[in-house]
Chain A
């Protein structure tokens, strides 16, 4: 069984300050991990993914995440927040151990608010 815990339901930062969105996972196999972003009334956009290559993963819009197996964490960071980053962020795990597609398990989401 696989699960994801997003430790904060809401995060508020000032524009220009760093962003940290926390995620811990549980998986029976070597997981693939993803961060998706959802802007209001929009679909889901993939920010970045970890699939057992480099542990530090760079994504779009300046976001990155580090896979830490010892801590079972995959926190999302960005050095400097922009107003356009305000959205809902989902940490997602997939444990398709055969390398084929398997169902994705979503965290409950973290709403990022960016203030002036």
Chain B
């Protein structure tokens, strides 16, 4: 059973471009979480999704950020018109219940 797969591992975008981060949960897991880690900080919750539904998006910025977890395929975190402040590590986790398994993260750099 492969772990949580995130790609790409590293992503460089120019200001104003779009960033798409993908997360494939572990087999059998229907819950997906996205977290953001700014430099020298802990992880901040962004959004919690189940298949085709957003359960909790209380940590998502109101503009430019969106997330989906379609019936087929990976979960996608989309950031439109990126700015330098979006530079961070974005971690995805999947869960069958209370315990969460994390991917290796995508490190986004906005130049």
Contact = CB atoms under 8 A, between A and B. Distances in A.
A101 B49 CA distance: 10
B22 to A, nearest CB: 15
A83 to B, nearest CB: 22
Interface residues of B, number: 25
A108 interface: yes
Interface stretch (A13-21, A38-46, A54-62): A38-46
Contacts, number: 63
B21 interface: no
Interface string B76-111: 000000000000000101011111111111010000
B43 A102 contact: no
B69 interface: no
Given A34-B99, A102-B98, 5 more contacts: A51-B99, A100-B31, A101-B98, A103-B33, A106-B44
Interface of B: 31, 33, 35, 41-45, 48, 56, 59, 91, 93, 95-105, 107
